Amino acid sequence: MNTGTQSGEALPARAGLGLKPEHIDEIIATEPDVGFFEVHAENYMGDGGAPHRALTAITSRYPLSLHGVGLSIGAERPLDKAHLARLKALVERYRPQSFSEHLAWSTHESGFLNDLLPLPYTKATLERVSAHVDAVQQTVGARMLLENPSTYILFEDSVIDEIDFLEAIAENTGCGLLLDVNNVMVSAVNHRLDAFAYIDRFPVERVGEIHLAGYDETVDGAGDRLLIDAHNSTVADDVFALYRHTLGRTGPVPTLIEWDNDVPAFPVLLAEATHANQMLDAAPHWRDVRVARRA
């Protein structure tokens, strides 16, 4: 299989923010110090109107990351050709510096499910997802980053470790990986795993972008801690600690602050980005220390 071509220059290794309509006028007026903005592709698949006028104004000032949520990469049915065509047109229109999607599925027969659902890690699933990723890259003409999921269940028929599964897809297709550190923490807590050990095994040389977000916390039926990938609050301290650990392996990597629900005033988001930028600025030092200790 072959990788697609890059759609633009790489994102800067700084913190970016999800672009929210209620913040656009303030961003254009003040031009805050933000590394890049990210949008969900499906929100801009119309031909024109106010959303495109606003996004054009933003992309004249900032790099763009395009994040898809509707391709249903893991679905058993073929990819939606009409959706792919709209995505291709969007990439050609804006030439984003990064394009990503989820390791998940959200379609069944003719229906669309408003969720990103997990899939078993089997040889058949690996072949199907690899074929879908390859088709996306060839159609869109851009290298895709594939995001690790947040999960709440494990499949009995999974026979491949998640990290090995992601790395195999990247090897098969030439795609990159989007490392969602919050997703790592959510899944690790829910499945009683070691989030730091997960990061230590992750193929960081394939990572093109990192995501950070806030989670909700509750308990499961057994009274154990259960995390929910909610994107409705500040990044938790334990996620920032895991992010610091991650940067010790990766060095500075473009990092998005995700906040999609209960969206606050823009200064709150900007403060989160500032915190992440402070950690990015220190990342080369942390990385050098970790390499020296291993040597």
DSSP letter for each residue of 227-244: EE----SPPPHHHHHHHH
Give the whole-angstrom CA distance, residue 203 versus residue 33.
30
Q: What is the CATH number of the domain that holds 273?
A: 3.20.20.150
User: Has residue 7 been placed in a domain?
Assistant: no
For residue 266, the SS3 value is: helix
Domain annotation covers residue 139 = yes
Higher per-residue pLDDT: 285 or 176? 176
Separation of alpha carbons 48 and 39, rounded Å: 16
Residue 6: inside a domain, yes or no?
no
Q: What is the pLDDT of residue 288?
A: 61
In DSSP terms, 98 is beta-bridged to 65
Do 150 and 183 form a contact (C-beta atoms < 8 A)?
A: yes
Residue 66: pLDDT above 90? yes
Q: Which domain holds residue 160?
A: 15-294
Of the candidates 116, 199, 120, 198, the one whose C-alpha atom is nearest the C-alpha of residue 160 is: 120
Structural domains counted in the chain = 1
Q: Report yes or no on 193 lying in a domain.
A: yes
Confirm whether 102 is domain-assigned: yes
pLDDT tens for 215-241 read: 999 988 888 899 999 999 999 999 999
For the chain, counts of helices (H) and of strands (E): 9, 12
Residue 126: inside a domain: yes
pLDDT per position as a tens digit, 26-64: 999 999 999 999 999 999 998 889 999 999 999 999 999
Within-domain flag for 260: yes
Structural domain includes residue 1: no
Per mean pLDDT, which range of 125-134, 248-257, 282-291 is the poorest?
282-291
